[in-house]
Amino acid sequence: MKTLRFYSSSSTCLILLLHIFSLFLSSNTTPTTDREKFDSLLRLPHSGSARTRHRSKRVLFVGDFGAKGDGITDDSKAFKNAWEVACSIPTRTIILIPSGRTYLIHPVDIAGPCRSKVTLMISGTIIAPINPDAWIGLNRRKWLYFHGVNHLTIEGGGTVNGMGQEWWARSCKTNSTNPCRHAPTAITFHRCKNLKVKNLMIVNSQKMHMAFTNCMRVLASHLQVIAPATSPNTDGIHISVSKGVEVKDSIIRTGDDCISIVSNSSRIRIVNIVCGPGHGISIGSLGKSNSWSQVHDVMVDAAFLSNTENGVRIKTWQGGSGFASNIAFRNVVMDNVSNPIIIDQYYCDSQLPCLNQV
């Protein structure tokens, strides 16, 4: 084991303390046994296959609130009404989105706190509006927005589809003549505690697929997060200002970072992940616009990265301050990865050159 310390020569710097354990790099001829080893550890969601043990819990069917599930009718109001009832009940409640149906949901704000634990059982398919104009007058950064909820579980073996193709076509990263505009994160959790997200597929997000911001005690497991390699900024799972987050037993194949960890996050565990295509697993970027930031106590253990632009990466902007410390990468296998290990203190994601502050 080696401890590497990196200091920039500018007056404000980010100090990076990194432990790297057992990284295995390979060519395109990675033995099949490596893939089998990782694949065999994953139990992936199968749409509509979840078994529900309702016991004494109350079950609310979105159809009882007027949802059609035909993929054409706007079911947002029915979904929101079901949530408000479930959140007001003092006993554990399940909101059931049944298999075999497709529910069109426009941008929706799902707020807590609730009187008891709530489970959102997604066994069918939820889709976003195809046309970005559905966000006119609304927050373009959000689609399904959960905030202030404690003891929320989302599961069920179904699919959440961001229908992001038109958003990608309008992106300035797809066509430099397009204006650079915000695009929604498919599922955002903000200020949620004791959160579980498991056994789901999240596909084709408009931008990031899933984000945890200001959250505590999160478990995300048995997820498939899928988008084309050419889709811009479609991070799989984004963790910001959060503590005690575990992501495990999941497959992430997108057009950007499989997992990104930023902005004052700590106690993060990434275990048994298959990543690629995409940009790998990233800490940062940190320190943008001369800001102060810290990320510490991050463990990545057992990951298979294939056909990615990067492997494991830490990236910071010039002029920023703070630190990234106690970061460990263990048992990482890479196949056809362009840049296996990157520590970049000159990160610049800008159409214009960044000012050299050294």
Q: Which of 209, 222, 238, 279 is catalytic?
A: 279
Active site residue 109: no
Which residues contact residue 218 at a Cβ distance below 8 angstroms, ignoring those fewer than 6 apart? 189, 192, 195, 196, 197, 212, 242, 244, 245, 246
Q: How far apart are CA 250 and CA 273, in angstroms?
A: 5
Do 263 and 285 touch, CB atoms closer than 8 A?
Answer: no
Q: Which of 249, 256, 257, 335 is catalytic?
A: 256
Phi (first) and psi of residue 61, to 5 degrees:
-95, 130
Active site residue 46: no
- Edge-first strand order for the sheet with 210-213 is 108-111, 142-147, 185-190, 210-213, 237-240, 259-262, 281-286, 310-316, 339-344
Tell me how crowded residue 181 is: count the other CB atoms within 10 A of its CB. Answer: 11
Q: How far apart are CA 273 and CA 292, in angstroms?
A: 30
Q: How far apart are CA 141 and CA 167, in angstroms?
A: 12
* Residues involved in catalysis: 256, 279
